[in-house]
């Protein structure tokens, strides 16, 4: 098993932010807006990042240098807020507000069929 080499990010706008931002943009081009913001955020975090050995941090694989970059809490918060803001802008742009699918299923189940009679007629 290879040991991960990690770099820490502590700057306000670190050089890795461009990579993280483009990672968000890449994911949003392919995501399904039928899910809630929280569900999409959770899926994105699983898609783009790995768990870190340091509790509370996540790691990102820089594809150019093949190095694991340690992402601390402030940068994680920035990633989350930026992701949610971009999702909301996409929903406005494409006029696709989030409608929970569970409500649709409940309405379908509540339909009551009172007349279950099939009528057969002779053709002339």
Give 25's pLDDT tier (boundaries 50, 70, 90): very high
Q: Is 9 a residue whose pLDDT tops 60?
A: no
49: in domain: yes
How far apart, in whole angstroms, are the C-alpha atoms of residue 28 and residue 31? Answer: 5
Number of domains present in the structure of the chain: 1
35: in domain: yes
115: in domain: no
44: in domain: yes
- The domain in which residue 34 lies consists of 6-98
Q: What is the pLDDT of residues 41-68, one digit of tens each?
A: 999 999 999 888 888 889 999 888 999 9
Please tell me the predicted confidence (pLDDT) of residue 108: 62
Q: What is the pLDDT of residues 74-116, one digit of tens each?
A: 999 999 999 999 999 999 998 888 888 665 555 566 666 566 6
Report in angstroms the alpha-carbon separations of 1 from 4, 28, 60, 114: 9, 33, 18, 64
Please tell me the predicted confidence (pLDDT) of residue 27: 94
113: in domain: no
Please tell me the predicted confidence (pLDDT) of residue 1: 46
How far apart, in whole angstroms, are the C-alpha atoms of residue 58 and residue 76? Answer: 8
Please tell me the predicted confidence (pLDDT) of residue 106: 57
pTM of the model: 0.68
87: in domain: yes
Please tell me the predicted confidence (pLDDT) of residue 55: 83
93: in domain: yes
110: in domain: no
Please tell me the predicted confidence (pLDDT) of residue 82: 96
């Amino acid at each position: 098993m290879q040991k991960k080499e990690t770099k820490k990010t502590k700057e306000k706008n670190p050089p890795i932010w461009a990579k993280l931002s483009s990672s968000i943009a890449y994911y949003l081009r392919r995501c399904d807006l039928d899910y809630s913001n929280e569900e999409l955020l959770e899926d994105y975090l699983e898609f783009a990042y790995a768990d870190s050995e340091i509790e509370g941090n996540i790691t990102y694989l820089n594809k150019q240098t093949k190095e694991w970059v340690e992402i601390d809490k402030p940068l994680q918060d920035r990633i989350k807020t930026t992701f949610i803001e971009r999702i909301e802008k996409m929903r406005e742009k494409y006029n696709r507000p989030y409608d929970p699918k569970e409500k649709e299923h409940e309405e379908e189940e509540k339909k009551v069929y009172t007349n279950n009679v099939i009528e057969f007629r002779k053709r002339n």
